[in-house]
Each structure stands twice: as structure tokens, then as C-alpha cells.
Amino acid sequence: MGLFAVGGSIYAAGMSRWAKVQGNANTILAVLALVIACSGGAFAAGTALGKNSVGSAQIKNGSIQMQDLSSATVKRLRGSASGDPTGNPSAPSIDIPAGYTDYGNGVAYKPEEYPNGVKLHLYSYKKCGSFVSASVNFLDESGAIVDHDTEYGGAMSPGDRQDLALTTYGDADMVGYKITDITCY
């Protein structure tokens, strides 16, 4: 919509013709302000941020929360060398029993293969207040996935141990496995 003045009258450009705008100066200014305000939203929508355009210089310290991060990033952060989920290098190291491997989120595991599956001996070094879960892909000779299993256990306190048996059901081609997830909830 366009506005123009001719000889003391104001005209507005419409879709198909020009119309004389009737009213006093206050009404005309209000209409003009409304037109400008409505076009501002379209401008803002056209200048949205692009993918990966926000860096650390634009982020205020302490403003990013765990729920803002992807699950893969959270796993990497919780798997710090010191064992402290915050990544604090001065935190005490985790005391994990011999033969166990730290999965990086409060639980260490020791696998034990058996026919048609694997038993995961779990050791908790932080509180898993609700439950713990483990998932395994079973593989054939080429490394292709032939079966999958997820099992759930109960709550665990630091120092607790628990076993989860993950089983493939009768697939003769299964020759190995890959642990895809162990999570402490």
C-alpha cells in the first residue's frame, strides 16, 4: 500500500485503484504508523539467523542448560577424564572396579558373553534414582545388525552392582555384539 498527497488530499494505493483517504491528520498518521508496524514483522522474519550462525561470542555465560544440548553432546560432556560430569579437572577420579569399562554417564560395565547373548555386569558410581537401561545390537560376520535388545534394571546407588542379560532369539548368524547405550535415569 502506498500513500501520496495531492493538493491537500491524501490518496492510498490499493490493489486495483487509488482511493481518496478521508479523515483528519491524526487518523492519517495512525494508518501510516500501522502500515509501518505491519511491515516490520516481515522484515524481521526475512533476517532470521542461519544454521550454525551463533557462536560463543553471542552466548551469555551460564545461559545454556543441559536440556538445550543434544543427547550426544551430553554424553561427551559426562564422559570427562576426571569422572566429573561438569568436566572439572580437579574433581576426584572415579573408583571403578577392575575389569569394568566406564560408559561415561554414571555407569561402568563388564560384558560376559553367553550363548544367544551377552550379560552386562553394571556398576554405578552415581545415583540412578529411577532405573538403568542397556541396549545391544547383535552382529553377523560382516558386521551387519541381525538383532537388537534393550533391557531395564532397577534404581542404583553409587557402588551398587546389577546384571542385565541381553538376548538374541535364535539367530544362528550372530557372531558378535555392539553396546549401543547404557543410561542411568
Q: Can you give the pLDDT at residue 81? A: 46
17-33 b/e (C-beta count within 10 Å ≥ 16 → b): eeeeeeeeeeebeebee
Q: Which of 39-53, 99-113, 126-140, 144-158 has the lowest mean pLDDT?
A: 39-53
Give the mean model confidence (pLDDT) for residues 109-119. 91
Q: Can you give the pLDDT at residue 98? A: 92
- CB 1, CB 13: distance < 8 Å: yes
Query: Residue 3: phi, psi to the nearest 5?
Result: -120, 140
Q: Where are the domains of the chain?
A: 2-46, 56-184
Give the mean model confidence (pLDDT) for residues 5-33. 61
> CA dist 114 to 28, 75, 97, 161, 164, Å?
84, 28, 22, 19, 12
Look up the pTM and report it.
0.51
Q: What is the pLDDT of residues 135-146, one digit of tens each?
A: 999 988 888 888
One of 2.60.40, 1.10.357, 3.40.50, 1.20.990 is the CATH number of 56-184, namely 2.60.40
Nearest 5°: the CA angle 111, 114, 137 is: 65
